Structure 1
Amino acid sequence: MKEVGKDKGIKNIVLLVLPQVQLLDVAGPCDGFTSANRFLSDTGSRLGYHVYLVSGTSEKNLYSSSGIPLNCSHTIYDMDFNIDTLLVAGTTLTVLDEINPDLYSYLYHMKGKVRRMGSVCVGAFVLAKAGLLNGKQVTTHWKYADILQKSYPELEVNINPFFIRDQPIYTSGGVSSGMDLALALVEEDFGKPLAAEVARHLVLHLKRTGVQSQFGNALPDYETLTSFTKEIRDLLKDKLKQPISIEYMAEFMNMSVRNFSRVFLKESGMTPGRFLEKMRLEQAKNMLEYTDMSIDMIADKCGFGSSISLRRLFLKYLSISPAQYRRAFKGTE
């Protein structure tokens, strides 16, 4: 393989594209890297990036999930240059079931041949299936984190960070998190001042406040719960303002506290106390988004007792305060 642009100190970045790719998974990182090129050029530097769209199939022309066509310069079958960084863009989970096994073989054999490899959104599923994430801490879109963890129990899935670096693998969260990752890679390569300049140009925070889970639901969708867990959720949903004990839940199910706690953990993946805590958090988030109630009133209606307890829980799970959450997510009339 030849290294394109080697004489100019150019780092070759490959964005691996699959059918039905989310357009921002590709466009976001592309703009991050090419914006860095612009500022480097202004300083007279001969360093920078060359970004390639490479198809993970035998076809160079693919359609994004929005219907916009993407024309890739190469496929995994005809690449003729060395790679510095390879990022797998996300697509739908159903598409992943139809991918030719050649892709996973290609990625596995690229291990050690690239300086770093990573993913955007559900691109983490591709790296996992290729056997590249075993034993690593990773992230993905918050909505699919549980599926990734159950499908690949050898991984440590953490949905809080917008991206995770577990050298030499980088995984980022949902969709726009690919831009957070690109900024981090620019900072790693060329320093914080350049990354900050790129962030300002793209009207982004260099490092976003909060965590990815602030965008998701505190609990799994109701339809995905087991019948046992649904019974408890139905029992508690109108009683969150009241003091609720595990003894109360166990008695409702005609079980001992010990047996109830064991079964609930098995059915839901969390303790009854944690489940109740997240129900209260979910209700507080909804009230912050859709009502004008004061934070003190919301804390009382959700059973927190005080706004201090509510704030503590928000910082624990979302790394932002209730007031910050309301500013970020409350719609304007």
Structure 2
Amino acid sequence: MENTAKQTEIKTIALLILPGVQLLDVAGPCDVFMSANHFLPDDSALKYEVELISSTSDKIVYSSAGIPLTCGHSIDDDDFPIDTLLVAGTELSVLDEVNTGLYSYLQRRATSVRRIGSVCVGAFVLAKAGLLRGKQVTTHWKYAAILQKDYPELEVNVNPFFIRDEGIYTSGGVTSGIDLALALLEEDFGKPLASEVAKHLVLYLKRPGVQTQFGDLVGDYDLLSPFTKAIRDLLKDKLGQAVSIDYMAESVHMSVRNFSRVFLKESGMTPGKFLEKMRLDQAKNMLEYTDMSPAMIAQKCGFGNVVSLRRLFLKYLSISPVQFRKTCKGSE
């Protein structure tokens, strides 16, 4: 009698692990894919298998928490099939010590995998391997400006939790790897299964807002140029007042035209846009740490009225001030 049992195809999800990796960069995506297997029927034609690949010849890699991760493979192994390859993030300083063999490995593997992507700072690894040229990408909000500066050929968009550009996927900071994994799962099996897994893990299938709601819109202070820091320091106590570009220029003894040109070069944005983002950052802090009404916050931050505040929150963060406060405070 002919055997008509359905053959199950295994799709290998490989996570490339660097020293100092954050556990959530690895565990988050792993739990999404393994949970999907749990909800698939026993006779499913497709199931996932997760493999960890060490970025060195040593198959034990220590995480940022000091917990050792035992990898089944290293970058010395090219003899097993990979469907989806994700590079997990680490601290930027670690990348200076990475063996150049890692980049050769990624270049070889990129030609055979169906999908390749990154979690958090893993985007820097893909960029150095030359795999992101001309692509729109994202990374952790804190390091997006550095990625753009180091790789000007990229189009870095700090807002999304993840971005797909053809077969290249990049995700934002840490937990954004879970958002990416859910999107890949939905791509493979459809929304119903992805929704079931998200509910099981107590997650949003598609998280509200954008990544920048977690950081400063003007960027990390320590990463600003000295000129930009000086203007930021000048403005920080005047956000509720009417502030003109003329005032900013006069404060540093420059003409308005020259000041605007220099400021754009130093900060990557116009003085007016910088002031607007500083006001939004202050409004975010006040919504999170005070019980002041949105209308009062709008006045104190120089927006004039709550309608303007709401409009700019939706423009930059894709959520309203009220939704932002609920997210921060965990209130209904």
Distance, in Å, in 2 between the alignment partners of 1:125 and 1:69 is 23
Distance, in Å, in 2 between the alignment partners of 1:139 and 1:55 is 23
Aligned to 2:3: none
Deviation at 1:111, TM superposition (A): 2.2
Equivalences for residues 195-214 of structure 1 within 5 A = 195-214=194-213
Deviation at 1:266, TM superposition (A): 1.5
Distance, in Å, in 2 between the alignment partners of 1:22 and 1:120 is 10
Equivalences for residues 210-289 of structure 1 within 5 A = 210-289=209-288
Could you tell me the TM-score, scaled by structure 1's length? 0.95
SS at match of 2:97: coil
Which runs of no fewer than 5 residues in structure 1 stay unpaired?
Answer: 1-5
The answer to whether the 8 Å contact 1:142/1:212 transfers is yes
Aligned to 1:77: 76
The answer to whether the 8 Å contact 1:18/1:56 transfers is yes
> Closer, same or farther in 2 for the Cα pair 1:76/1:7, shift >3 Å?
farther
Deviation per CA, 1:72-130: give whole Å up to 9, x if none: 01112124311111000111111111111111001011222111100001000110000
The answer to whether the 8 Å contact 1:219/1:278 transfers is yes
Distance, in Å, in 2 between the alignment partners of 1:200 and 1:134 is 36
Distance, in Å, in 2 between the alignment partners of 1:38 and 1:103 is 33
The answer to whether the 8 Å contact 1:287/1:293 transfers is yes
Deviation per CA, 1:178-227: give whole Å up to 9, x if none: 11111111110111111011101010011011001111111223333333
1:167 and 2:162 correspond:
no
Distance, in Å, in 2 between the alignment partners of 1:218 and 1:161 is 14
The answer to whether the 8 Å contact 2:136/2:154 transfers is yes
SS at match of 2:48: strand
Distance, in Å, in 2 between the alignment partners of 1:282 and 1:243 is 17
Equivalences for residues 107-186 of structure 1 within 5 A = 107-186=106-185
Distance, in Å, in 2 between the alignment partners of 1:235 and 1:183 is 44
Distance, in Å, in 1 between the alignment partners of 2:13 and 2:226 is 47
Aligned to 2:308: 309
Aligned to 2:329: 330
Distance, in Å, in 2 between the alignment partners of 1:222 and 1:13 is 37
Q: Structure 2 counterpart of 1:35, which letter?
A: S
Which runs of no fewer than 5 residues in structure 2 stay unpaired?
Answer: 1-5
Aligned to 1:30: 30
Q: Structure 1 counterpart of 2:85, which letter?
A: L
Q: Structure 1 counterpart of 2:155, which letter?
A: E
Aligned to 2:21: 21
The answer to whether the 8 Å contact 1:21/1:64 transfers is yes
> Closer, same or farther in 2 for the Cα pair 1:229/1:89, shift >3 Å?
same
Q: Structure 1 counterpart of 2:177, which letter?
A: G
1:193 and 2:189 correspond:
no
Deviation per CA, 1:165-184: give whole Å up to 9, x if none: 01110001100011111111
Aligned to 2:318: 319
Aligned to 1:8: 8
Distance, in Å, in 2 between the alignment partners of 1:77 and 1:222 is 40
> Closer, same or farther in 2 for the Cα pair 1:224/1:144, shift >3 Å?
closer
Deviation per CA, 1:5-44: give whole Å up to 9, x if none: x9521111111111111101110000000001111135x3
Deviation at 1:270, TM superposition (A): 1.1
Aligned to 2:97: 98
Equivalences for residues 283-298 of structure 1 within 5 A = 283-298=282-297
SS at match of 1:48: strand
Q: Structure 1 counterpart of 2:230, which letter?
A: E
Distance, in Å, in 1 between the alignment partners of 2:84 and 2:22 is 20
Two-structure CA RMSD over aligned residues (Å): 1.5
SS at match of 2:272: helix
Deviation at 1:259, TM superposition (A): 1.1
Deviation at 1:248, TM superposition (A): 1.6
Distance, in Å, in 1 between the alignment partners of 2:167 and 2:273 is 34
Count of aligned pairs between the two proteins: 326
The answer to whether the 8 Å contact 1:8/1:46 transfers is yes
> Closer, same or farther in 2 for the Cα pair 1:55/1:223, shift >3 Å?
closer
Aligned to 1:59: 58
